[in-house]
Amino acid sequence: MKPRYRFAEFTVSPSRRILIRDGREVPLIPRYFDLLVLLLERRDQAVHRRDILDVVWYDVVVSDGALSQAIRTLRRALDDTAREPVFIRTVSRHGYRFVHPGVFEEPEADPVDPQAGLPERPGALPMTAAAITMAGPSAGVGPSGAAGGDPFESALGRLLGSEMPAADDPDEIRREAAETLHVLGTEEALRRLDRRPGHARARALLRDARWDVPGAGPVPLLGQPGSARAVIALVGLRLRRAARLTSARWGAASAGGALAGACAGLLGGFLLRLAPGADSPAGLPVALALIGIGAGGAGAAGIGAGLAFAEAIARSFRGLALVLCGAAAGGVTGLFVHLAARFTLEGVFGQDLSSLGGGLEGAALGGAAGLGYALSTPRPQGGGMATPRGLARAGAALCCGTCCAASGIMVTYLGGNFAGASLNLLAHTYQGSHVGLAPLAHMLGEADPGPLTRTLSSALEGLFFGTGIVIGLTRRPS
């Protein structure tokens, strides 16, 4: 059992997951509590920002702003400041360190010391307005005398910008105020907000922040005062977040798709060379691997960007957004690749290649990738983007690959063409080509590439692609 920590007037119980100040419980978001415990456990060293993100946000990718917001909230809970830190010090270009010298560890099973300020759990105050009012400024609601000692009014003032400390970041202060109001009571906060100046933006912040506070109530936008402005503000807020988070995800997804394309190309090349009666050149596997890198990388770049964008912007309907954005991004990418390849080959060789795979195939593949990713990675708690590890990551990749393989089978059944079938069309168009599927068809007992050969080729392509894109998409940035 982990020990509990005592310092100044505070007691931290990791096993019971509570922070106590002078006998009163101070509410903290779970990840913020985990951050406080981590800093206490490693108080003999400065903890790097990357180490904090890897431990506290181990299952999601978040922006650096999430860590800064967490530190600011902890400092407010401890009555600490960044300029003259008593508990948490910022280590420039590195991270943070817990610097208070008087930290004592004691076994959690020890009898409760009345002077320790750790009451029995039944007597601890819940996360209510009463508890936060009694905790005063340690609860992150400002001085207890502000707004007549009413924590709702103090937090509403900061959310609306009427009580904004000049030295603080306004966006972080408003975000923290929104989270505080959810802790106090979402319904009462909305009732008091009503039609005050700036209520539309405030309602949007409350809607977005509710995902980060366990037990927060619903925040409806439609049918409320200023609903249109609130929706626009919420979309803008999430678009800015999406731009920050998407940039770190789509590149990794593209690399994963390129790697999967290379593996699929090598495998296909070796199968075509080893098939009975094949006359393919020795360099065919390498050539197909290079084609796979280009096709897989381009497709994964588009679809990966769509999935990353959907995960960053959608929280209420994450699964639906992943499917729709994946399909849209796949369709646009497939159409672009189709037109580029078609016009290039027609312009150079004068052949009509309109039957090459394109937008519809890309949309089917992107939608399947979004479905597989949504099914295998439930919505992360506390925001951010899912980054499963170990077996969970392998399972997510396999699930997405299976969905993409099913998409390949469906596309073939409807008469569409993935890369292998498109290359087979090229082989029939240009005499002397060695990339046709005829050797594989002979292995499967077909005289010419028929439904079985085309279906197997598309299913394997989908399996490789879906697996690769999730392996890349879920890679934690270094």
Give backbone dihedrals phi and psi of 85, rounded to 5 degrees, phi first. -70, 135
Instruction: Assess whether pLDDT exceeds 90 at residue 331.
Output: yes
Structure tokens at 186: 């979402």
pLDDT band for position 169 (cuts 50, 70, 90) = low
User: Residue 474, Cβ neighbours under 10 Å: how many?
Assistant: 25
**What pLDDT is stored for residue 162 in this prediction?**
65
Structure tokens at 55: 């431990």
Instruction: Assess whether pLDDT exceeds 50 at residue 124.
Output: no
| CB proximity list for 268: less than 8 A, separation 6 or greater | 285, 288, 292, 420, 440, 457, 460
Instruction: Assess whether pLDDT exceeds 90 at residue 48.
Output: yes
pLDDT band for position 170 (cuts 50, 70, 90) = confident
pLDDT band for position 68 (cuts 50, 70, 90) = confident
Range with the largest mean pLDDT of 333-342, 369-378, 418-427: 369-378
436/226 Cα distance (integer angstroms):
61
CATH of region 4-108+125-134+147-212: 1.10.10.10
What does the longest C-alpha to C-alpha distance in the chain come to?
Answer: 90
β-partners of residue 386 are 60
Instruction: Assess whether pLDDT exceeds 90 at residue 34.
Output: yes
β-partners of residue 104 are 6
Say what the pTM is. 0.67
Looking at the chain, the whole-number percentage of residues with pLDDT higher than 70 is 82
**What pLDDT is stored for residue 269 in this prediction?**
83
**What pLDDT is stored for residue 350 in this prediction?**
63
Structure tokens at 369: 């990738």
Instruction: Assess whether pLDDT exceeds 60 at residue 239.
Output: yes
Structure tokens at 43: 């108080």
In this prediction, residues 107-128 reach a mean pLDDT of: 48
The CATH 1.10.10.10 portion of the chain extends over 4-108+125-134+147-212
As a whole number of Å, the CA-based R_g of the chain is 28
Which tens digit of pLDDT belongs to each residue from 374-423?
999 876 655 567 788 889 899 999 999 999 999 999 998 888 888 777 77
pLDDT band for position 314 (cuts 50, 70, 90) = confident
189/203 Cα distance (integer angstroms):
10
